[in-house]
Amino acid sequence: AKCNLTGVLSAGGCNYGYIYQDEHLGWDVGALSDVSNEYVDSCGLCYEVACENDWTSSFYNETFDRRVCYDSSASVVIRIVDTCPCTYPANWWNNKRWCCGDKDHFDLSMWAFEKLAELRYGIIALRYRQVPCWYTPPKQARKLDHPSPGNSPPSGVPRPTRDWPEYRSSAVSQRSIYDQGSWQNGFYDSSWNTWPVASKDARTGITNKPSLCTTVRQNGGLAFHGWNGVFQNQLAIEFWVYVGVAGWEGKSAKIPDVAVTLMGNKGGCKQLRVMDMKPIMFKPACTFCADYWWGWKVYLPLFDGADKSTVINDPSAFRGCGGNSVWDLHSINFQPTYNTDQYMCIDHVMLA
């Protein structure tokens, strides 16, 4: 694997906002390439990385002697907070140089990088593995007496709630709904007034299996039906939608104009228009492709009217919506926002 350095502490692709130095792991953060096999659901996960005294190379077969490690037996744990996009029009040559899958690649913050090697080298070879975020390496990379300075957060801004793995309630567990081209864990299709595309003809999803593609009629809905109690001990719903050629900064993305809601024994909850919510993950349909899948994470209290910036890490913060208790709720529905048919392809739908 290889890495190069970045200085980003805010506005990363995972929408975590400003990362505070005194938070767990602090400014030891990084980004994964969006063509990595480990990219999907990587936001907030942690990796142990160590410098490797070796030559490394770029996508263009440039070679670099990077036998420059302080100590190749020492490591640092980083948190994934951003994306290294393979296809990025604003920086096409350089992003392709590093982020397009010729080798496993991380962008490391300068504060993590400078614990492994001098910043002036810019790129080093790496060994890495995913670890629990609370993990402490047996030999930690040295802390500098005078680390690089960073920007202070805006004054008066309250600290965000984090849903990072080590902050979550132990009761929370992920539950797949639709993934790998099939329905999962007892969920089933209860859609109405839709024109589904046969699986063999559906667009390939983010796991290289068929996604769920359908035209949702103006008076129809794409429905993922579970059972009473399925939302207990859950924080959010996650899903990926195909948006086509996203263009400059995503301005050309064709997000289906649908609203997502939860349904229960006593009716529906607040409808949330997907295009009004900010996605947190972006994955090209293939290496070098300009068309994209975008991923959303919607925290359950939003369906009860909470502010769209709400993040929770304890499922007890959600007590139901639309007159339903959490136990009453059983389904996730996607319906056209206005009276027009909407074609959509959706994949990797899950509770988290």
pLDDT at 28 over 90: yes
Identify the pLDDT of residue 315: 95
Of residues 311, 310, 11, 4, the one with CA closest to residue 151: 11
pLDDT in tens, 286-322: 888 889 999 999 999 999 999 988 999 999 999 999 9
pTM for the model = 0.89
Structure tokens at 66: 């990077």
pLDDT digits (tens, 9 = 90+) for 154-179: 777 788 899 999 998 888 888 999 99
Among 264, 261, 237, 234, which Cα is nearest to 325's?
Answer: 264
pLDDT of residue 89: 67
Band of residue 343 on the pLDDT scale cut at 50, 70, 90: very high
**Token pair listed for 19:** 């990362």
pLDDT > 70 fraction of the chain, expressed in percent and rounded: 95
What six digits make up the tokens of 286?
A: 């293939």
**Res. 96 pLDDT band, cuts 50 70 90:** confident
For residues 162-174, one letter each, b for 16 or more C-beta atoms within 10 angstroms of the residue's C-beta and e for the rest, the string is bbbeeebeeebee
pLDDT averaged over every residue in the chain: 92
pLDDT higher than threshold 60 for residue 9: no
In 57-130, alpha helices (H): 92-99, 110-113
